[in-house]
């Protein structure tokens, strides 16, 4: 039962315990306060008393659990939880649709239109490694009211990026090569999550045409060099920095760009440069590049989404 609740509420074991404790204490407080209110009203016990008592409990329960949730650090959870309950009483509320990925019509599902209240923009992050960029992006959008990270996709089980996502209660998906390149590219899964933008954060596989067609100008990548220099197949991570040092370049930097059918070829959104000194090594240059990535990538992503235009 507890595992089902963890999955349903997308929380870890400690938070689940704190949530259940909040329910218990808040509910008890609600009952005590409700009875005291009934004493003050002075109504004789009977059917009317019972109805009034339950009405009072219904009205004060949200306040009781919200107040109780504060010292347990669960205020945001209960705020969302109560909001969903109240939303069910909204006459304009429609039930969430359940999507069966086995159905033949999943390819025609509308991008970014599933379970997205108030035009909330859903992002999926693709990562293959430790996830330092993914972590910065997740942190940047953690309390954003209009943009939400809903999925982290990786082609490598056990990498740091997956753990970062789990620590932040973000769903994860491990993909396999055959389905990604020769199958549906996991498009139905991304559509089920209502993904509007795909963000590549150290993802080492080439994006298949199936995803590019479904998300045109909505797949964004960051490359650790000033494109078109040092781009293309096989140019990633330390290999880029080694090539820059070997060619005695006086500057390097980052290129944030849209993804198309060719490696590192899509339209450039923003480039930021840094100096390369004679004493730099691939390791020290990598550190400079990481600092530029962390300082710029999340902000550029947000600017793109908000403006829906290329950021110069």
- Which residues are catalytically annotated? 223
CA distance 10 to 6: 5
Q: Do 31 and 57 contact (CB within 8 A), yes or no?
A: yes
Pick from 172, 138, 158: which is nearest to 10 by CA?
172
Q: Residue 75 — φ and ψ, nearest 5°? A: -60, -45
Q: How far is it, in rounded angstroms, from Cα 33 to Cα 31?
A: 6
Taking the C-alpha atoms of residue 185 and residue 20, their distance in angstroms, rounded to an integer, is: 39
* 97-105, long-range: CB < 8 A, 24+ apart: 99/188, 99/191, 99/192, 101/188, 101/189, 101/192
């Amino acid at each position: 039962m507890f595992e089902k609740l963890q999955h349903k509420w997308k929380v870890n074991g400690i938070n689940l315990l704190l949530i259940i404790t909040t329910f218990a204490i808040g509910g008890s407080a609600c009952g005590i306060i409700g009875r005291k209110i009934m004493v003050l009203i002075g109504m004789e016990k009977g059917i009317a008393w019972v109805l009034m008592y339950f009405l009072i409990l219904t009205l004060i329960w949200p306040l009781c659990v919200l107040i109780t949730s504060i010292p347990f650090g669960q205020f945001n959870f209960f705020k969302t939880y109560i909001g969903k309950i109240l939303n069910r009483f909204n006459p304009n509320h429609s039930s969430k649709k359940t999507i069966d990925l086995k159905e033949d019509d999943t390819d025609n599902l509308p991008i970014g239109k599933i379970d997205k209240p108030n035009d909330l923009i859903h992002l999926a992050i693709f990562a293959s490694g430790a996830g330092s960029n993914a972590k910065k992006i997740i942190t940047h959008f953690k309390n954003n009211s209009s943009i939400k990270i809903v999925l982290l996709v990786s082609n490598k089980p056990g990498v740091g990026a997956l753990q970062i996502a789990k620590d932040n209660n973000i769903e994860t998906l491990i993909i396999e090569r055959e389905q990604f390149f020769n199958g549906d590219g996991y498009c139905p899964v991304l559509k089920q999550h209502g993904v509007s933008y795909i963000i590549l954060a150290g993802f080492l596989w080439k994006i298949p045409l199936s995803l590019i067609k479904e998300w045109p100008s909505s797949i964004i990548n960051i490359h650790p060099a000033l494109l078109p220099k040092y781009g293309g197949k096989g140019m990633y991570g330390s290999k880029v920095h080694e090539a820059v040092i070997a060619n005695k370049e006086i500057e390097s930097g980052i290129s944030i760009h849209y993804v198309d059918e060719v490696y590192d070829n899509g339209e450039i959104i923003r480039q930021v440069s840094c100096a390369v000194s004679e004493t730099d090594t691939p390791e020290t240059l990598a550190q400079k590049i990481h600092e530029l990535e962390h300082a710029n990538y999340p902000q550029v992503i947000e600017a793109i989404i908000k403006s829906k235009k290329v950021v110069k």
